[in-house]
Amino acid sequence: MPRALLSVSDKTGLVDFAQRLQKCGWEVLSTGGTEKTLKDAGIAVTPVEDVTEFPECFGGRVKTMHPKIMGGILMRRDNPEDIAEAKKQGIEPIDLIAVNLYPFEEALKKQSDRATLIENVDIGGPTLLRSAAKNAAFVTVVCDVADYDRVIAQVESKGTTLELRQELATKAFARTAAYDALIAETFSDGRYAGGMLMNGTTLRYGENPRQWGKYYDLWGTERPWKVIQEEAGKPMSYLNLLDADGAWNLVKEFSAPTAACIKHANPSGVASNGTITEAFQRSYDTDKLSAFGVIVALNEKCPAEVIQKIIDQKIFAEVIIAPGFDPEAVELLKQKPKIRAIEMANGKSPMANPVTYRSILGGMLLQNPDTSVVTEKKLTCVTEKKPTKEQIADMLFAWNVVKHAKSNAIVFAKDRVTVGIGCGQTSRVDSTWIAAKRAGERAKGAVMASDAFFPFPDSVEEAAKHGIAAIIQPGGSIRDAEVFAKANELGISMVTTGIRVFRH
């Protein structure tokens, strides 16, 4: 009779799984709370203590760490010496292990004290999982309740396949690695840090065709996006996803319907409006020259009208990313099969990942994302001339855009539309000049946002030449007094935010 050991903290699906195992003629072994749950459901259970002939001890710290359990998992069924030794020692095979670990992650989220965290460090669970995973040639290991259905389906058929057992084994190794990494990080106060990546997806290529690229999800998180359309035989590239990420992070700053056109991770045009269709049109119109091979991001569901505009105007769009697509929009997309469409499953909610990573100098840089929000109440007017309500609204709009442009970054905006963007320059005045060149006559009466303070008054002077009426910037330069004085001299309203928003 095949035997299964079930010992889980998450009881989801447990009873059904055990009942179906027994209907297939399996003996169920169990411990503690799992054993009680199964017995309460009327399922015959063999307590682990009956197998080991040794009681659970030390408050439950030792339950399954015994040769009759570990040997039953690790014995090689095709090795005569193992078979003979098992018979001599009275060890019977265990053919399936279902274990999910003590909820250390949940205890950590609850900010539990150290003693509670220690008691939520599982010892026997990882040992069972790793032992079963090591012996996947013969033993099925289940560490995720989401796998119960497909495991039991195979058990009810002809037994689990080697392919499935090996897949579940790698998942178990990943689970224990992620679990131990979090424990090490927690108890070392961050001196050690680790993370497990999963669901590796091969991309078309990296930044260039000669480079490979892959995308991974972080362990324990669901992928927040899905591909609605991509060209047959040409999956997403590294840059498609990198630009889509930048585009999405930008538009989700806004509550009003907002669209952005992105090139090389920088915005070429952004607009907010009463409708997402008009917002898209304005974001494209503001810089059509740059919007070639563009990434389009919408913070509302994509309607058919947006796709129709792309078709009618022959806009070369690489990717469209939105929190959803109307069915009519999906149908119209088929007329442009080279456009890649990404749906964000979590709408406008923040991304799950609380840390940004960058590999440098053979190591890794980590930081928390910039989630700062600047409101009218946080602005300090530093000039004699005060901005109007309309200018304040435009400055806050421009601030949310400049936050997502590469430094040094300058954004000109009017009526909640960017009219000129200069970014990624080594000199702030150069970025101002580029923004002014792109804006042309539209700069007159517009506002300007700067992602960092002005080291000199030259950018203010350049802005004034083109008719900028109000400026929003962090402040904090040793020459602030000169900068403020120049704004006063030129009749420009200026407000400071007190924070900078560099992006590299």
Going by C-alpha positions, the residue among 410, 337, 399, 339 that lies closest to residue 374 is 399
| CB within 8 Å of 133: residues ≥ 6 apart | 141, 168, 169, 170, 172, 173
With 70 as the cut, is the pLDDT of residue 268 above it?
yes
Per-residue confidence band for 351, with pLDDT thresholds at 50, 70 and 90: very low
Burial class (CB in 10 A: 0-12, 13-18, 19+), 445: middle
pLDDT digits (tens, 9 = 90+) for 463-494: 999 999 999 999 999 999 999 999 999 999 99
The pTM for the full model equals: 0.84
Going by C-alpha positions, the residue among 271, 343, 273 that lies closest to residue 302 is 343
Structure tokens at 443: 């700069």
Structure tokens at 286: 């503001």
What SS3 string covers 69-123?
HHHHHHCCCCCHHHHHHHHHHCCCCCCEEEEECCCHHHHHHCCCCHHHHHHCCCC
C-alpha 83/C-alpha 80 separation (Å) is 5
Going by C-alpha positions, the residue among 193, 74, 61, 200 that lies closest to residue 130 is 74
Any idea what DSSP says for residue 65?
-
pLDDT digits (tens, 9 = 90+) for 307-325: 999 999 999 999 999 999 9
> Residue 482 belongs to what H/E stretch?
helix 480-490
Q: What is the three-class DSSP state of 234?
A: coil
Side-chain half-sphere of 125: how many Cα atoms within 13 Å?
Answer: 27
Structure tokens at 276: 């997402």
Active site residues: 134, 264
Contact status, residue 329 vs residue 304, Cβ threshold 8 Å: yes
What domains are there in the chain, each with its CATH number? 3-187 (3.40.50.1380), 199-344 (3.40.140.20), 376-496 (3.40.140.20)
With 60 as the cut, is the pLDDT of residue 100 above it?
yes
pLDDT digits (tens, 9 = 90+) for 244-256: 999 999 999 999 9
